[in-house]
Structure 1
Amino acid sequence: MRAIWKGAVSFGLVSVPVKLYAATESHDISFRQVHAKDGGRIKYQRVCSIDGEEVAYADIAKGYETDDGQMVILSEDDFAELPASSSREISVEKFVPREQIEPMWLEKSYYLEPDKAAAKPYALLREALKEADRVAVVTVSLRSRMTTAVLRVRDDVIVMQTMMWPDEIRQPDFGGLDAADMDVKPQELKMAKMLVETLAGDYDPSEYDDDYQEALEALVRAKLEGGEVQHLEQPKPTGGEVVDLLAALQKSVAAAKSSRGEEAAEATGSGEEAEAEEPEEKPARKSPARKTAAKAPAKKTAAKKAPAKKAAQSTSKKPAAKKTARKAS
């Protein structure tokens, strides 16, 4: 077991350093909601009921709704002002007869383990509780909230059981249960007592089995052994962020292509002339990268003189190309 809390039990001038362990655990099989067709897990979105938009965790606050539908929103600063306790002390308030503690008040149970150096005062408190046949009512701070609890002895181990607050216990309000309204006949009462005596005995937890849990585990195990399982595929990426990113990338690529096309049009002309001369411009762009000799521009000049009709209609940049060829020659 792993300790979930460390502190000390204090009664009078005695302090007993202890560790706290959860005394109970649930063995229920937990299920997930899945798609019956392929076994995929069902996901839930945090959607605002007013604007219908998905809400990020950072934008979620705690709210208290009144009976008439009004909402009081509390911030982290509001909670910071509330009285909170970080004490590591289990303070014994009084020792009371154990029959005065109603079982309904008890909530969660924890084992207390003493530190090695505190074994003697731990044993002292344990034996005192046994001899007095009492339980210790204590106050303790768990999860920054002060609560009441009782210390009792179970199998030579001190157990701490947290308790509900008095206003958390509901009062029964049923009609027709008053003894004055019930006519119980002596013979009926006698037979009821006989039934009680017939079924009287001591409680032995080993006599009771969770047959539903055992049957459920057997069912799951049989399906696993029989190969009745779903091999889950990798979930497809979905969500607004991915879609927006993809759209942004597509727009960026389109813009880059468009930008390159405009530059080519400015360099060679517009319309059909630009399309006709585009294949000839590509070797000219590659030649500087190769660092060729002066003969390469000469070829380029000859190629541009071939279409005589187009030379008269060329833009102002064609004379610049001729000048470049002369300089290279």
Structure 2
Amino acid sequence: MHTMWKGTISFGLVNIPVKMHAATENKDIKLRQLHKKCKTPIKYEKTCPNCDEDVKSEDIVKAYEYAKNKFVILDDEELEALKKEQEDKAVEIIDFVQLEEIDPVYFEKSYYLSPNDGGSKAYALLREALTDSGKIGIAKMMIRSKEQLAVIRVYKEAIVVETIHYPDEVRAVSDVPNVPDQEAVGQKELDTAKLLIDQLTTKFEPEKYKDDYRTALMELIEAKKNNEEVEVGKENKEKPDNVVNLMDALQESLNRAKSDKPKSTKPKNKTTGKKTAKTKSPVKKKKATS
């Protein structure tokens, strides 16, 4: 299992070196977008609409838009220093609460914790203390450049970190449109609804719940593949470098200039000069006569 973070969990004077691993994985089936005409995968490139050119990663800076089209530029060094400052801090459990006190709307993502070198005994101590007390820990930690509020609890034999939203990240229920006020409900309808709930009440067994859409989609894909209903896409053609484009344009311009230039020889120039002299002489004579 891939280690995505290493650090220390502490409560009181107890420090536990731990490694963190993602507890869940996204199993969505990712579909590519192809050009209908030639079945080539579509590319998404970063471009600047002002300069009308492709932008490389090294030419991109991060910024915060504090007003319309007004930005504060943040250097990578500044962000990295801030991130390092927070990551170097041990993850300290600041409170212990009952799990039932936290509404599920706050929960975000789960991670497993495993003991790092020399941390097995302290890890087991925290696990047993949490289990016996029936409490969970509340802590703050840095994950992927963001300070997270987190719950530390026991799941089966492992300690789990559950990231939870800050209160200002959970939208107010009062902002939800068209939520009805308290309305009178008939007792007969209420009793029938409660009876239905009782009949459908069972023990939670997560293994019996399946993603029917994902299963059906994979079956459709396999059926098409077995029937050889497949398309072979063409490889993306690399876009020529701007320098190459410029050189091509210059060479083409040079070639056109050469082909458009009138071909002339020295004898023709002399002949032209004589003709000019002949045409000028009668004019002079005419002026003299007048």
- TM-score bracket, shorter-length normalisation: 0.7 to 0.9
Q: Give the structure 1 partner of residue 142 of structure 2.
A: 141
Residue 213 (structure 1) aligned with residue 189 (structure 2) = no
Deviation at 1:196, TM superposition (A): 1.3
Residue 110 (structure 1) aligned with residue 104 (structure 2) = no
* Greater length-normalized contact order (CA 8 Å, ≥ 6 residues apart): 2
Listed one character per residue, the Cα deviations across residues 183-202 of structure 1 (whole Å, up to 9, x for unaligned) are 11222222221111111111
Q: TM-score, normalised by structure 1?
A: 0.69
Task: Work out the CA distance in 2 between the residues paired with 1:62 and 1:94.
Answer: 35
For 1:226-245, what aligned pairs fall within 5 Å after superposition? Answer: 226-239=227-240, 241=242, 242-245=244-247
Listed one character per residue, the Cα deviations across residues 230-284 of structure 1 (whole Å, up to 9, x for unaligned) are 22333334345243343456679x6xx9xxxxxxxxxxxx879xxxxxxxxxxxx
| CA separation of 1:95 and 1:176: change in aligned 2, threshold 3 A | closer
For 1:55-134, what aligned pairs fall within 5 Å after superposition? Answer: 55-65=55-65, 69-76=68-75, 79-80=78-79, 83-84=82-83, 85-87=86-88, 89-115=90-116, 117-134=118-135
Deviation at 1:53, TM superposition (A): 3.8
- Specify the code of the residue in structure 2 equivalent to 1:6: K
Q: Give the structure 2 partner of residue 23 of structure 1.
A: 23
Task: Work out the CA distance in 2 between the residues paired with 1:175 and 1:223.
Answer: 45
Q: Give the structure 2 partner of residue 178 of structure 1.
A: 181
* Contact 1:137 1:151 (C-alpha < 8 Å) held by counterparts: yes
Deviation at 1:157, TM superposition (A): 0.5
Task: Work out the CA distance in 1 between the residues paired with 2:87 and 2:209.
Answer: 41
Aligned residues: 256
Structure whose alpha-carbon radius of gyration is higher = 1
Q: Secondary structure at the residue paired with 2:173?
A: coil
- Specify the code of the residue in structure 1 equivalent to 2:19: K
Q: TM-score, normalised by structure 2?
A: 0.77
Q: Give the structure 2 partner of residue 159 of structure 1.
A: 160
45-54 or 157-166: which moved more? Answer: 45-54
Larger strand share, 1 or 2: 2
Percent identity of paired positions between Structure 1 and Structure 2: 37
Larger helix share, 1 or 2: 1
Q: Secondary structure at the residue paired with 1:117?
A: coil
Q: Give the structure 1 partner of residue 36 of structure 2.
A: 36
| CA separation of 1:171 and 1:183: change in aligned 2, threshold 3 A | same
Q: Give the structure 1 partner of residue 262 of structure 2.
A: none
| CA separation of 1:233 and 1:251: change in aligned 2, threshold 3 A | same
Task: Work out the CA distance in 1 between the residues paired with 2:112 and 2:76.
Answer: 35
Q: Give the structure 2 partner of residue 285 of structure 1.
A: none
The root-mean-square deviation of aligned C-alpha atoms, in Å, is 2.9
- Structure 2 residue ranges without an equivalent (≥5): 259-264, 268-290
* Contact 2:141 2:150 (C-alpha < 8 Å) held by counterparts: yes
Listed one character per residue, the Cα deviations across residues 156-175 of structure 1 (whole Å, up to 9, x for unaligned) are 11100111111000012245
* Contact 1:61 1:73 (C-alpha < 8 Å) held by counterparts: no
* Contact 1:87 1:141 (C-alpha < 8 Å) held by counterparts: no
Task: Work out the CA distance in 1 between the residues paired with 2:117 and 2:61.
Answer: 44
Task: Work out the CA distance in 1 between the residues paired with 2:223 and 2:247.
Answer: 46
